[in-house]
Structure 1
Amino acid sequence: MLLTYLGLGIILGLSMAAPPGPVNAMIANESMKSWLHGSSIGAGAMTADLIFFIIVYFIQGYIPTPIRNALYIIGGIFMLYLSYLTIRAKMPSKSIKGNYFIGLSMGLTNPYQISWWITVGISIIRSLSILIIPGFFVGILIWIIAFPKAVNMLGSKYVKYVKVISSVILVIFGVYLLYEGILNVI
C-alpha cells in the first residue's frame, strides 16, 4: 500500500514539475552554467511547493482574492524582468544560493503553483491521503536533478536556442499573469 502511494506521488510530482513554464525556463537557462545552477532554481521552486502544501494542509487552501490578484501582478512583472535578464544572459545572481532564492520567489509568485495547490493539492490530500506527499516531492526532486543534467549535457552550442525559448516562455507567462491579475482587479 505504501509503495502504491509512493508511486502515485512520484507520478504526480513529475506531472507538476515537468510542464513547460517559467520555472523550467529558468532551470534550462541556468543549467547552461552547470546542472547545480539549474537544480538550485528547481530546489527553490520545490521549497515553494512545500510552503504551499503546509498552507493548504492547515487552512484548506483559503487564499483571499485580493492576495491572489496581487500575486498575479507581482509574478507577471517578475517574469517579464527575468525574461529580459535571460535574453541578455545576465541573471540577478550567479551563485547557486542566489539561484535558489530566485526559484523560491518564482515559485511563491507563480499562480500555476498556487492554483495547483488550491485545486489539485487539496483534492489529492483529501481523496488519496497525505501519504502521497513524500512521493510527490521525490517526483519533483527527480525532475530538478534529471532535467538540468540533460540540458547541461547538450552543451553550449544550444545555449542561444535555450535562451530564446526560455525568454519567450517567460514573456508569455508574464503577460498572461499580468492580464489575469489586472482583469481580476477591474
Structure 2
Amino acid sequence: MSLAATLVGGMVFGLALAAPPGPMNAVIATESVLRGWSAGFRAGLGAMLADVCFFLLALVGLVAFVQRSPAVRTVLFVAGGLLMLYFAYGAVASARSFVDDDVDEGKGFRKAFVLALTNPFQIAFWLTVGVGLLEPGQLDVLAALPVVGQSLAGRAVVQTGEPAIIVGLFAGVVAWILGFPAALVSARRRVESVAPVVAWLSAAVLAGSGLLFLAEAASRL
C-alpha cells in the first residue's frame, strides 16, 4: 500500500477518534464559543499533547503498568470524575453569564491536558490500539466511526506497522482541532445565542462523564 494511502487512512482514523462527543470536545467547544478560535485550538492542543505523552509512555511500557494496576486506575477514575464535575460547574457559570471572566489564555490548554491525563480510557487506547498501529498488520479505519462504523467496515483497510500511520493519525487530530473551533465560532457569529447553548451542552457532557467516571471508580472498590 502506498505511503499516501497510509497517511490518508491514519488521518481518517484520527478524525474518527477526535470527532465523537465527549469531555475533550466539550472543553474545546466551551473555550471556542466563549473566548474564540485560538482558545478552542489551544484546548485541542492540550488534549493532543496528552495523547503524545501516552503514546511515548506506551512505547516504553509505563502505560502498561497503569493498565495492570487496579488501584491506580481507580484513582484515575476518581480524579478524572471530580475534575469533570468541577469543569462542568464552570461551564454552567459561563452559560449563565454568557461570558467567561477568566482571561487566562492558557486555561483551556491546561484544562484539556489534565482531563486527558486522568482519562483511563485514553490510556487503554494507547496501550492497545495506539501501540498496535506500529505493529505489522491491518487497520479498518472506517470501522472506528461511531454509529455507522459497522456498515462501513472493510471499505478502508490500511497497513499498520509504519510510522506514516501515526503521522496521519495526529494530522487527523490536528485537522479536527483546527476545524471544530472554527465552525463553532462561525456559528456564534451568525447566531449569538449559540454560545450559552454550547456552554450548557458542554456542562452536561462533562457532568455526565464525571458521574460515569465516579460510578466506575465506585464499582472497583
TM-score band by shorter chain is: over 0.9
Matches within 5 A, 1:119-130: 119-126=128-135, 127=137, 128-130=160-162
Aligned partner of 2:202 in structure 1 is: 166
What is the SS of the residue equivalent to 1:48?
helix
Once structures 1 and 2 are overlaid, which stretch shifts more, 68-77 or 97-106? 97-106
The question of 1:13 aligning with 2:14 is answered: yes
The question of 1:71 aligning with 2:113 is answered: no
Aligned partner of 2:143 in structure 1 is: none
Q: Distance in 1 between matches of 2:104 and 2:175?
A: 22
Once structures 1 and 2 are overlaid, which stretch shifts more, 136-145 or 97-106? 97-106
Q: Which runs of 5+ in 1 are unaligned?
A: none
- Partners of 1:30 and 1:37 within 8 A in 2: yes
Cα deviation, residue 95, structure 1: 2.8
Instruction: Give the CA RMSD over aligned residues.
Output: 1.7
- Partners of 2:23 and 2:84 within 8 A in 1: yes
Once structures 1 and 2 are overlaid, which stretch shifts more, 62-71 or 172-181? 62-71
- Partners of 2:63 and 2:123 within 8 A in 1: no
- Partners of 2:29 and 2:198 within 8 A in 1: yes
- Partners of 2:28 and 2:108 within 8 A in 1: no
- Partners of 1:37 and 1:95 within 8 A in 2: no
Residue correspondences, number: 185
Identity %: 33
Structure 1 residues 61, 120: CA separation in 2 closer, same or farther (over 3 Å shift)? same
Q: Distance in 2 between matches of 1:14 and 1:108?
A: 20
Q: Distance in 1 between matches of 2:90 and 2:199?
A: 10
Q: Distance in 2 between matches of 1:91 and 1:75?
A: 23
Q: Which runs of 5+ in 2 are unaligned?
A: 138-159
Q: Specify the code of the residue in structure 2 equivalent to 1:70.
A: V
Structure 1 residues 76, 95: CA separation in 2 closer, same or farther (over 3 Å shift)? same
Q: Specify the code of the residue in structure 2 equivalent to 1:121.
A: G
**Greater share of helix residues, 1 or 2?**
1
Could you state the TM-score of these two structures normalised by the residue count of structure 2? 0.78
CA shift digits 1:7-48 (9 cap, x unpaired): 111111111111100110111111012011111111000000
Cα deviation, residue 67, structure 1: 1.5
Aligned partner of 2:108 in structure 1 is: 99
Q: Distance in 2 between matches of 1:5 and 1:60?
A: 28
Q: Distance in 2 between matches of 1:134 and 1:49?
A: 13
Aligned partner of 1:51 in structure 2 is: 53
Q: Distance in 2 between matches of 1:25 and 1:162?
A: 8
Cα deviation, residue 78, structure 1: 0.1
- Partners of 1:8 and 1:135 within 8 A in 2: yes
Once structures 1 and 2 are overlaid, which stretch shifts more, 122-131 or 72-81? 122-131
Match of 2:174 among 121, 127, 141: 141
Q: Specify the code of the residue in structure 1 equivalent to 2:178.
A: I
